[in-house]
Amino acid sequence: MNASSHSRAFAGWGLLRRYARLYGALWRNSVVREMGFKTNFVLWIFVEMLWFALQIAFIAVIYQHTDRIATWSKWQVVMLIGASHFIQQVFTAVFLLNCSNLSELVRTGRLDFLLLLPINTRFLVSFRQVDLGAFVNAASAVAVMIYAARQLDLEPGIVQVLAFLALCVAGVLIHYFLMFLLATICFWTVRAQGIVWGYYNLFTVARLPDGAFRPGVFKTVFTLALPMLLVSNVPVKLLVGMLESPLEIALLLGMACVCFVISEAGWRASVRQYTSAGS
């Protein structure tokens, strides 16, 4: 490695450490904020867990009348619901509040201050707040997936588990890229919470097995345009051995890359036309 390459590597490592320290500070602020409202913190966890339990109960009722939904058995669907909830809660913990608050930053002019800071503005906008309760709910989803795996007699290896987690991360990023893109509409309309939360409500589609739908408009839209069916179905199918082709994994990863490019282009275009709240 020549001196120039060594210098670039050192600078890149220093930048990574700087942003890691910044994110740690944002975490500490989130902990202080959450602990200031302990009752709300606990109550929200309870509500989310109750909703999660109702979803599993609904599946139990369905499987009292059938053995399979398409090719999916009862415990495979429970695994799917657990994975979908896990992805949703990780996304909620890291990104949801920040995406929904972007319109307030624009409306109140607080974005002006963030644009002046000597750090990447999108990073700060995307990671300012952390929903700690959602991590607790994500842990409950992991417990359900472990129980479902035991019912299915699954013993995945470390490589399979790591691949599953990597695909879950890709799913979380897809949700983030698309929701952030929708949130940038606030640069033109001032408020965009309705659109952001409308997208969030579509997460329920991710809990459905893709094999239950015949090829058509619905399946195409929620696979290629709004890839809800991809983000949870593909990781679970990898874990339970139901993948029909490696192309499904390639499609999920490819959608993550496409969504990133589109989201970044939308963000840059929005910031270029932003004139601040006071002008």
- 8 Å CB contact between 103 and 183: yes
Q: Identify the pLDDT of residue 10.
A: 54
Kindly report the CA angle at 239 between 66 and 137, in degrees rounded to 5? 85
Q: Is 27 exposed, middle or buried (0-12, 13-18, 19+ CB in 10 A)?
A: middle
pLDDT at 195 over 90: no
E strand or H helix that includes residue 18: helix 3-35
Q: What is the pLDDT of residue 82?
A: 95
Rounded CA separation 192/194 (Å): 5
pLDDT in tens, 55-86: 899 998 999 988 888 889 999 999 999 999 99
pLDDT band for position 188 (50/70/90)? confident
**Residue 221 β-bridge partners:** none
- pLDDT tens column, 222-277: 988 889 999 999 999 999 989 988 999 999 999 999 999 999 999 999 998 887 75
pTM score over 0.85: yes
Query: What mean pLDDT value characterizes the chain?
Result: 88
Closest CA to 221 of 186, 255, 262, 263: 255
Question: Average of pLDDT values for 205-230?
Answer: 88
Q: What 3-state class would DSSP assign to 69?
A: strand
Average pLDDT over residues 38-44: 79
Could you tell me the sign of the dihedral formed by the alpha carbons of 228, 232, 235, 236, in that order? negative
Would you tell me the crossing angle of helices 193-201 and 97-108 to the nearest 10 degrees?
170
Question: Residue 142's pLDDT band (boundaries 50, 70, 90)?
Answer: very high
Dihedral (CA of 59, 248, 149, 137) sign:
negative
